[in-house]
Amino acid sequence: MRRAKTGWDMDDRTLCVVHPKVSLEGFASLAVPTYRASTIPFPDSAAYAGRLDRGDDSYVYGLYGTPTTRTLEKQLAALERAERCFLTPSGQSAIFIAMAALLEPGDTVLITDSVYAPVRDLATSDLARFGVKPVFFDPSDPEGPEKLLDDSVRMIWVESPGSTTMEILDLPAIVRMAKARGILVGCDNTWATPYLLKPLELGADISVQALSKYVGGHSDVLMGSIAVKDPQLAARIKGMMWRTGTGVSPDDCSLVLRGLETLTVRLAHSGTVGERLARWIAARPTVARVLHPALETAPGHAIWKRDFKGASGVFTVVLHDDAVPHVPAALDELTLISIGASWGGTRSLVAPMSVAKYRTASRVDGADMHLRFSIGLEAEEDLERDLERFFDRIEALLSMPERRLARSSV
Ligand SMILES: *Cc1c(COP(=O)(O)O)cnc(C)c1O
């Protein structure tokens, strides 16, 4: 007998560690089971010997996937219209794996200037250290990447809308230019998720998301994904994942699988309420600009309308310079909207950000105070009341010196 059967013939010490087999007959669940494993035992010695020759869907070692992680990979691949999807411990690590797997010493990577800031840091420190040259392009210049092309360019990295400053890129135009020269196009699709934009359908080679944001959706899990169509790219990314020991926890996957089920209804709410609040905010007197691609005044509005199915709930507000000193006091008036980074959860957030130090190819005008909002799932009226407290406070502080002046002149 090769395999132990649990029964009263075994010692208690053995009974504690050998699980009884239970029937799955007649059982079903709409939830995906959480399969945890480091070791994957094999039914016989031949199966063990041939474990590496059984293709992508086989199970070898917990780090390389369990049925739980594979379910999430396949579900995301379907949404991305991808051949393969890989899961990484964070959005940032997804970007690192994609770049490190596909770039060689001597290559140049063109990166949008409003890229997620830690990617700039990664590119200028570690990628540069390994002989890859990062060159940043101005996302508001339609010729931005083309001007910088030379024979060493191997990849163009885009993020649209850009982090904080929200520039919309013409992805199909960038793809046409890149394809003609055999350059790879990678896209950070975290803002839109594959529900609102499908980069691979627009011709990108790689679509990366921080699942930590909208797909996880509840501010309690970190994960990233890399989706590709081309099996050769997939093989190189898989190799990099294996060699760097990169994998994710099935428990975390079950949180992301749960979040994914409500992604589209959450995005619909956050997108609709976010756009309405963006318009409401734009009408307040202390506001210089609202950076939201659904606003007709946004520079990339026409491209956004052409390529995206809608907006998510993240946008940025730029105040008039004289209002900026009053932002900390006004933020402290907020009772519902939390102050914090990251986004895409059920709770609305605001983060005051300065971006000039993260821009080398584009200009930041004015006082460089960017209020990035992420609209969650609260009722619009409650959020509006909270925002009213914020703007009332700024407006009151701005008019105070004048009032004092008026009084003293009486
Ligand atoms: C948050 C974010 C990331 C990184 O995701 P983590 O899971 O936090 O590492 C990457 N890109 C964009 C656009 C993001 O907003």
Q: What is the pLDDT of residue 367?
A: 85
The answer to whether the beta carbons of residues 80 and 204 sit under 8 Å apart is no
Give the closest residue to 300 by CA, choosing from 118, 155, 174: 174
- Residue 91 Cβ contacting ligand 1 at under 6 Å: yes
Q: What is the pLDDT of residue 406?
A: 47
10-residue averages of pLDDT along the chain (410 residues): 63 94 95 96 92 84 96 98 98 98 98 98 98 98 93 98 97 97 98 98 98 98 98 97 97 98 98 98 96 96 98 97 96 97 96 95 90 98 98 93 49
Q: What is the CATH number of the domain that holds 56?
A: 3.40.640.10
Say if residue 355 is in the same domain as residue 257: no
Instruction: Provide DSSP, 119-131.
Output: HHHHIIIIIHHTT
- Residue 355 Cβ contacting ligand 1 at under 6 Å: no
Which uninterrupted H or E stretch holds 381? Answer: helix 380-408
> Number of folded domains in the chain?
2
Say if residue 51 is in the same domain as residue 163: yes
Say if residue 254 is in the same domain as residue 118: yes
Helix (H, G, I), strand (E, B) or coil at 378: coil
Say if residue 257 is in the same domain as residue 274: no
Q: Rounded to the nearest whole angstrom, what is the distance from the C-alpha of residue 239 to the centroid of ligand 1? A: 23
Pairing verdict, β 338-339 and 314-319: unpaired
Single out the residue in 203, 227, 261 at which a domain terminates.
261
**Is residue 19 a part of any domain in this protein?**
no
Q: Distance between CA 276 and CA 283 in Å, rounded?
A: 11
Q: What is the pLDDT of residue 365?
A: 82
Whole-structure pTM value: 0.94
Which uninterrupted H or E stretch holds 400? Answer: helix 380-408
Q: What is the pLDDT of residue 20?
A: 92
Single out the residue in 261, 276, 300 at which a domain terminates.
261
Q: Distance between CA 56 and CA 243 in Å, rounded?
A: 16
Single out the residue in 261, 283, 318 at which a domain terminates.
261
Which uninterrupted H or E stretch holds 216? Answer: none
- Residue 190 Cβ contacting ligand 1 at under 6 Å: yes
Say if residue 75 is in the same domain as residue 124: yes
Say if residue 214 is in the same domain as residue 358: no
Say if residue 289 is in the same domain as residue 376: yes
Q: Distance between CA 253 and CA 85 in Å, rounded?
A: 13
Residue 319: give the domain boundaries.
Answer: 263-409
Q: Which residue blocks in 160-221 are alpha helix, DSSP H? A: 171-179, 193-196
Say if residue 248 is in the same domain as residue 355: no
**Is residue 37 a part of any domain in this protein?**
no
Say if residue 213 is in the same domain as residue 282: no
Say if residue 238 is in the same domain as residue 279: no
Q: Rounded to the nearest whole angstrom, what is the distance from the C-alpha of residue 223 to the centroid of ligand 1? A: 9
